[in-house]
Structures are given as C-alpha cells and as structure tokens.
C-alpha cells in the first residue's frame, strides 16, 4: 500500500473514531486492588465498515480485539498502556474536537505512567488527568466517587489506604 493510500485510510478511520470512538481511562477497583487502564474502543452496527476499519488498524500495526455484541453490534477494542499509546500517536494528527482532547489526555496519562517503574503509585498529576478526562466526557454517574478517592493511596495491584 502506498503512503497516500495509507494516509487516506487513516483519515477515514479517524473520521469514524471522531464520530463513534472513545479514548478513555478505565478504572477498575476490586477489593484491595485498583487499576487505571487506557482504552480505545469503537462500536457500530455496520459490520462491513467495522471490518474495513479493523483491517486498517491491523495494516498500520495496531492490535485490537474485534467482537460482536448482542445481535447486530460490532466492537473493536484495544487496552493497555503501550497499545493505546500507539493509537493516540497514530490518530492524533487526524482527530479534531472532543476526540482529539480525549486522546491527548489519555496520551499524557500513558506517558506519565510509562516514565515510572511498574506498580508505582498514582501521582497527583495522573489523578488530575483522569479527572479532566472524566469531566471532559461528562459523568453519567453523578454520585460516583471523585477520582482522587478512587485512586488515592492505590498502586496497581496493591491497596494501602490510610486508616486514620
């Protein structure tokens, strides 16, 4: 595939992502463990379009999981620091508006996490990035705990909440 076709395909993919995709940080807390995982995902009903997008992603070295949800919903998802970092870096030049802002915040979070040793605690800066992303997306759960409470005193894989 030539450079012009690759750029055209990436621009097409970015258009779909701008309309239907998501760049976010998923928060998972189970018992004494907490994780903040970068996520890229897109869901649509048009199977042919999603398969075409999936091929574009694979052709550009992006790993993803393609699945069918319910009867007629197709889903592409990638998770993890390095995988989603690559999505952000490839698509940021093509994104506009809110999706560009989301991808920028997710990329800042990823770069911060990758600059530290594995399993290091979350910094105030990282908590602020997740909080900015949540505000940018608009919370669907108004009673949810603030990010600082969810991630405070957590390190991935361990829980060390102060009991004072």
Bridge partners of 78, per DSSP, are: 40
Whether the predicted model's global pTM rises above the 0.75 cut: yes
Considering the domain boundaries, does residue 18 fall inside one?
yes
> What's 43's domain CATH number?
3.10.28.10
Considering the domain boundaries, does residue 150 fall inside one?
yes
pLDDT of residue 137: 82
Considering the domain boundaries, does residue 125 fall inside one?
yes
Domain that holds residue 93: 3-154
Considering the domain boundaries, does residue 119 fall inside one?
yes
Q: Confidence class of residue 159 from pLDDT cuts 50, 70 and 90? A: very low
Distances from the Cα of 22 to the Cαs of 9, 88, 130, 162, in angstroms? Answer: 19, 11, 14, 34
Through-space distance between the first and last CA atoms of the chain, rounded to whole angstroms = 61
Is the Cα torsion angle 81, 41, 135, 108 positive or negative in sign? Answer: positive
Considering the domain boundaries, does residue 49 fall inside one?
yes
Considering the domain boundaries, does residue 162 fall inside one?
no
pLDDT per position as a tens digit, 7-59: 789 999 999 999 999 999 998 776 666 688 999 999 999 999 999 999 999 99
CA-closest candidate to residue 118, choices 158, 87, 149: 158
How many distinct structural domains can be found in the chain? 1
Considering the domain boundaries, does residue 134 fall inside one?
yes
Contact between residue 43 and residue 28 where contact means Cβ atoms under 8 Å apart: no
How far is the C-alpha of 79 from the C-alpha of 97, rounded, in Å?
Answer: 22
Considering the domain boundaries, does residue 43 fall inside one?
yes
How far is the C-alpha of 45 from the C-alpha of 119, rounded, in Å?
Answer: 38
CA-closest candidate to residue 93, choices 5, 1, 18, 2: 18
pLDDT per position as a tens digit, 93-138: 999 999 999 999 999 999 999 999 987 888 889 989 998 998 888 7
């Amino acid at each position: 595939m030539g450079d012009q076709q690759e750029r055209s395909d990436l621009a097409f993919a970015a258009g779909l992502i701008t309309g239907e995709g998501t760049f976010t940080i998923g928060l998972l807390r189970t018992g004494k463990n907490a994780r903040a995982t970068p996520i890229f995902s897109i869901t649509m009903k048009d199977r042919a379009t999603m398969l075409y997008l999936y091929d574009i992603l694979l052709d550009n070295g992006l790993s993803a999981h393609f699945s069918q949800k319910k009867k007629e919903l197709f889903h592409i998802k990638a998770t993890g620091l390095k995988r989603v970092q690559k999505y952000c870096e490839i698509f940021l030049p093509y994104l506009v508006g809110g999706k560009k802002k989301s991808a920028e915040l997710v990329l800042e979070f990823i770069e911060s996490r990758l600059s530290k040793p594995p399993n290091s605690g979350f910094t105030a800066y990282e908590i602020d990035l997740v909080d900015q992303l949540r505000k940018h997306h608009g919370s669907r759960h108004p009673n949810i705990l603030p990010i600082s409470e969810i991630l405070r005193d957590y390190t991935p894989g361990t829980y060390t909440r102060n009991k004072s």
